[in-house]
Amino acid sequence: MRFLVSRLSALGDVVCSLPVASALKAGHPKCEVVWAVDARFAGIVELCRSVDHIVRVSKGQRLGPSIDGQFDAALDVQGLFKSAWIVAKSKAHHKVGYHWQREGSWLFSSKVLPDPSSLHVVDQYVDVARAVGGLASQAEFTLCPDPSDTDQVMSKLRAKGWKDGPFVVINAGAGWATKRWTPVGFAKVADWILDQGVMPVFLGGKPDTTVLEEVRLHGAENAVSLVGETSIRELVALISMARCHLGGDTGSTHIAAALGIPAVGLYTQTRPERSCPYGQIHRCLSAADGPITVEAVQALVAGSLAGA
């Protein structure tokens, strides 16, 4: 059997969609999974053991690529025109889609309503795979860093003064400013982590450089920064080596969850029930429950370092 999955962007959403591939493999062990993804985020799908082939979609391909061959089913797990059009053009016997269909995407696939027990977006994506025979009692990401990427990251860390000891990765940025915790809060927690004998390592994309500058107005001068200095594949390797990840509702948080790394999630706007690091809602703090305090964050990081 052969399946096409269309999930183009963005980083965290692609990560959260990966269990679709493993569910298809579990239900159809000999199947081939082809994944269409925005070329900027292809590094994540490259590291997923459940995906057989990748179709990279460049930003300039407004109508998407034509994908050769027949498919038993095509799955739109994004629900936008750009993802739906790839499914529409495919030669697939069945075309199904994630239930939140926008921009006319409902014209090209049958909507799969989530199971009432599927509160998390990851489980809702897996429900789309279940509609075509996929199996999953619990989502499996099958995300695995490449050893060559790990070597690269270790070299970059050592060049910044890392001495091969334990470290916590911190992402102070997020796609939306409203999703970010305070710079002063991140600075205080980073300095506290260093006092515990653990190195804080800031990560993120190039746009997060400004965010780190804001954090360093309040402290964290001795923290290591790899902000804007890793590829997506290297980001996966970096997070896989960490004792804990601290950040908001952003892509690296979901990478940590996919790798089984303790992920402390700070939710200033979105609902953790739907988008927390998968399986780790007990490590999340939500502004809906009151202000997120430095002391509460420190307690969760301390528990993660202790294995709680």
Element containing residue 167 per DSSP (H, E): strand 167-171
CA-to-CA dists, residue 116 to 22, 135, 141, angstroms: 21, 17, 22
pTM reported for the whole predicted model: 0.96
157 and 276: one domain? yes
CA–CA separation, 258 and 31 (whole Å): 23
Residue 252 lies in a domain: yes
Range of the domain at 153: 147-305
Contact assessment for residue 48 and residue 142, using Cβ atoms and an 8 Å cutoff:
yes
- Identify whether 139 is part of a domain: no
The count of structural domains within the chain is 2
* CATH number of the domain where residue 73 is located: 3.40.50.2000
Final residue belonging to a domain, choices 130, 164, 194 = 130
pLDDT score recorded for residue 202: 98
Question: Residue 264 in contact with residue 189, Cβ under 8 Å?
Answer: no
Please give the chain's pLDDT, 308 residues, in tens: 999 999 999 999 999 999 999 999 999 999 999 999 999 999 999 999 999 999 999 987 766 788 999 999 999 999 999 999 999 999 999 999 999 999 999 999 999 999 999 999 999 999 999 999 999 999 999 999 999 999 999 999 999 999 999 999 999 998 888 889 999 999 999 999 999 999 999 999 998 999 999 999 999 999 999 999 999 999 999 999 999 999 999 999 999 999 999 999 999 998 999 999 999 999 999 999 999 999 999 999 999 999 87
Q: Are 251 and 292 part of one and the same domain? A: yes
Question: Could you give the C-alpha distances from 241 to 19, 148, 167, 279, in angstroms and in order?
Answer: 22, 13, 8, 19
CB of 50 closer than 8 Å to CB of 142: yes
Are 125 and 151 in a shared domain? no
For residue 264, give the DSSP letter: E
Same-domain pairing of 81 and 152:
no
> What pLDDT does residue 214 have?
97
- 111 and 155 in a single domain? The answer is no
Do residues 30 and 99 share a domain? Answer: yes
